[in-house]
Amino acid sequence: MTLVRLLPRAALSRAVGAATRVPAPGGLHRAAIRGFARAYRVELEEAELPVKGYRTFSDFFSRRLKDGARAVDVRERVVVSPVDGAVSEAGIIEGGECLQAKGLAFPVAELLGDAAEARAFAEGGSFATLYLSPRDYHRVHAPLGGAILGWRYLPGELWPVNPASVRTVRGLFALNERLVTWLETAAGRCAVVMVGATCVGRLRATYADVVGESGSPSASETFATPLPVAKGAELGRFEMGSTVILLFGPERVVWDAGLRPGARVTMGRRLGELS
């Protein structure tokens, strides 16, 4: 972690992000994709396109999946995973804070950048933190159907979000850049928080023209007319990868017993249900 503290994380992330968006001469990016897929055991057969169909490495990293690759649990009371990944932590918000790792927590108000909005979750609400590794599918989807109320982009640090950093950097998820999407659902108000990290080139919403990247100013929008959204519909994507945090209000959602640190989840799979 000492080396990471010394690195120019913002400049490095901008450079890596820009490099991944440039078509490499001679198809070098396709060789990089194949090498990356081998190293991280990416399931290429699930991708929407063959390797040769991706113009840049970034296009591949933020790839769509083939139709039917993920089944969404459509039962009305079921909350589904917005991403493929692994559970970092999940539980109840206490004293306005979410558990980050043993001995560490992060404040909901700082995560959301809005103390007034945080009050809807800050005492007794439910949270789930889901980590996306390099091998994972990097698009983010709605955990319940309802309406998109608006969004907020919060610039910040670009610490790594791997398990080693989560265990050592206090308040990590409230320090890094974030893109918050506000939903109104059958479980009431919900926040879907995309958290950036070192070498995450961009956080992009797909329901509006919203792109957050290192160096962008803070911004927000509340829609005059909320946008309808179906359970499992796409909300955004990471151009390189990171973490998603779900927040629900008190006594709205009960997580399944198997939602424990290290458990694998896939987009559309049940995480819990309305209480």
From 13, 126, 141, 214, the catalytic residue: 141
Reduced to 3 DSSP states, what percent helix, strand and coil does the chain have, rounded to the nearest 5?
20, 35, 40
Which of 13, 58, 84, 138 is the catalytic position?
Answer: 84
The gap between the terminal CA atoms of the chain, to the nearest Å, is 40
Q: Per DSSP, what are the bridge partners of residue 16?
A: none
The answer to whether 156 and 173 are in contact (CB under 8 A) is no
Tell which residue, 106, 87, 83, 74, has the closest CA to residue 257: 87
Torsional sign, CA 31, 34, 37, 42? positive
Catalytic residue among 13, 58, 88, 242: 242
Catalytic residue flag (residue 141): yes
**In sequence order, what DSSP letters do the residues of 24-82 get, joined into one string?**
PGGGHHHHHHHHHHHHHT--GGGBSS-GGG-SSHHHHHTPPBPTTSS-----TTEEE-S
DSSP state of 176: B
Q: How far apart, in whole angstroms, are the C-alpha atoms of residue 31 and residue 153?
A: 34
Answer yes or no: 29 catalytic.
no
The catalytic site residues sit at: 84, 141, 242
